[in-house]
Amino acid sequence: MQADYVIVGSGSAGCAMAYRLSEAGKSVIVIEHGGTDMGPFIQMPGALSYPMNMARYDWGYSSQPEPHLDGRRLAAPRGKVIGGSSSINGMVYVRGHARDFDTWRDMGADGWGYADVVPYYERLENWHERGHGGDPDWRGKDGPLHVTRGRMDNPLTRTFIDAGRQAGYEVTGDYNGEKQEGFGPFDMTVYRGRRWSAANAYLRPALKRKNCTMVNAFARKVVIENGRATGVEVERGGNVEMIGATSEVILAASAFNSPKLLMLSGIGPAEHLREHDIEVVADRPGVGQNLQDHLELYLQATSKQPVSLFRYWNLLGKAYVGARWLFTKTGPGASNQFESAAFIRSAAGVDYPDVQIHFLPIAVRYDGKAAAEGHGFQAHVGPMRSKSRGAVTLASADPKDAPNILFNYMSHEDDWRDFRTCIRLVREVFGQEAFAPYYGHEIQPGADAQSDEALNAFIKEHVESAYHPCGTAKMGRADDPMAVVDPETRVIGVEGLRLADSSIFPQVPNGNLNAPSIMVGEKAADHVLGKTPLPPSNREPWMHPNWQTEQR
């Protein structure tokens, strides 16, 4: 088997590239180890807590014991299914702040500043909130990825925005438009009540073309001959075979599996490769390093009124939600229930938001277990730009072995201060007049947890990943020893090999990673095809005029 381009991974970036390369007439083979994404657990937005906890859809990775979190191992799910993590994620759609991408550019990712990436966001989006507030002029109208908003039927969802306004924060009609900073409605990748994953948006249309095929196989390594990638060694049906690439091999296998594949192929820190008796093809010390993520915790409170989603948290309620979704694609099952959000700055002197809040009108854990106290609500909160860095390394030279993942969470003193600030800022919002008819008492951390020491203890025990791993094969200039790919996503030191997924982010952007990952796939496809990038935008994003002296 061979094609012009062989893409490893059918996730957010891989699907976008398969679509654009096949659209241009190139032959494409997509290698995906996971199975079908059909079925209600994935396609029903309200069921999002199921697929990310199902071994069938997840690689099942977890971190090494985290030294600053009392040795806890944190879950690190990645989608092992058609659509990759876009098929098991929370469907939250966040482009990232303008300054995120200008920072990428300043770190050596030339051509990836805000002005450069905005046209790709506009190309990928089909935004459906026209006429309902927001910034339609800043949004894409006819891209493959449908982006919508929840109906905000639940009074708690609207109350959260009102409380933010009362606390003195900005309100924004569209955090993906001109103004990210403030409280406002959340965007989601849901269309006509269904999860609109990268598979639904990009891969299915691509596979209808004769020049695009998908192979269900486990990628073992990139085959490199005389310094050039010529294909991918895969295992399927118990046999090891090679899938050839006449033009290029493109890795899009996640922030864990892309660096793992590079290292198994002889590209990475030479000393580490030799430890595992892997022949060094290119000594790139940055492979697997620079691992970043967003950590978060949630503040939970009881509701004095029975208005939360807890009313559906029983057998009958779930049956009703499921049946209504199955037959009409409406009701609570048609939303991820993250319908209001906030992006705020933690202190005066911070020039753009460094805290994200997801509001949820129920008190429930990620594993789907509701709070014992019944009706309630919660805010997921965490700092956006932690200084902690981790690494992905090989456990062995056996491709079947999971990589070693150490995030090194909370290794920087600032992270503790920032998390305590996050908790106190959310408490202040929950204490506003708007919440008075609903707010009962704090479930967690609990009213007794006020001191720095008490909050630190709560953070250490309860903090968990927001599942935004990135940075493990960072993009930079060819003369940067820690860069793994150049600004055209070519792996430095090897011909005919590219990498395009969240691994290449030099720094984690503000918010959830699905949108920037798809954007990377879109832009990388133009580089692969040798096209002139889309013309830069001249849009000027909103910045708080008094950020130097005011926190809000």
- For 79, the 3-state DSSP assignment is strand
Q: According to the annotation, is 92 in a ligand binding site?
A: yes
Residue of 495, 29, 32 whose CA lies nearest to 244? 29
Kindly state the tokens that stand for 365.
């854990």
> 85 - beta bridge partners?
none
488: left (phi over 0), alpha (psi -120 to 50) or beta: alpha
Using an 8 Å Cβ cutoff, are 254 and 84 in contact? yes
- DSSP secondary structure string for all residues of 62-88: BPPPBGGGTTBPPB---B-BTTGGGGT
Kindly state the tokens that stand for 386.
């932690």
Q: Is 468 a catalytic residue?
A: yes
Which residue in the list 33, 146, 380, 468 is annotated as catalytic? 468
Using an 8 Å Cβ cutoff, are 242 and 18 in contact? no
Task: Tell me how far apart the alpha carbons of residues 312 and 321 are, in angstroms, rounded to a whole number.
Answer: 7
Residue with tokens 């093809």: 281
Q: According to the annotation, is 118 in a ligand binding site?
A: no
- For 406, the 3-state DSSP assignment is strand
Task: Tell me how far apart the alpha carbons of residues 6 and 270 are, in angstroms, rounded to a whole number.
Answer: 26
Q: How far is CA 111 from the centre of its chain?
A: 22
Task: Tell me how far apart the alpha carbons of residues 392 and 220 are, in angstroms, rounded to a whole number.
Answer: 17
Q: How far is CA 182 from the centre of its chain?
A: 21
Alpha helices in 197-346 (DSSP H): 198, 204-207, 254-264, 270-275, 315-328
Q: According to the annotation, is 89 in a ligand binding site?
A: yes
| Residues sharing a CB contact under 8 Å with residue 58, sequence separation 6 or more, in sequence order | 51, 52, 77, 78, 79, 80, 88
Alpha helices in 390-439 (DSSP H): 413-430
Q: According to the annotation, is 288 in a ligand binding site?
A: no
Task: Tell me how far apart the alpha carbons of residues 119 and 142 are, in angstroms, rounded to a whole number.
Answer: 13
H or E, element range at 377? strand 376-383
Residue of 366, 362, 344 whose CA lies nearest to 463? 366
Q: Show which residues are catalytic.
A: 468
The binding site for FAD consists of 81, 89-92
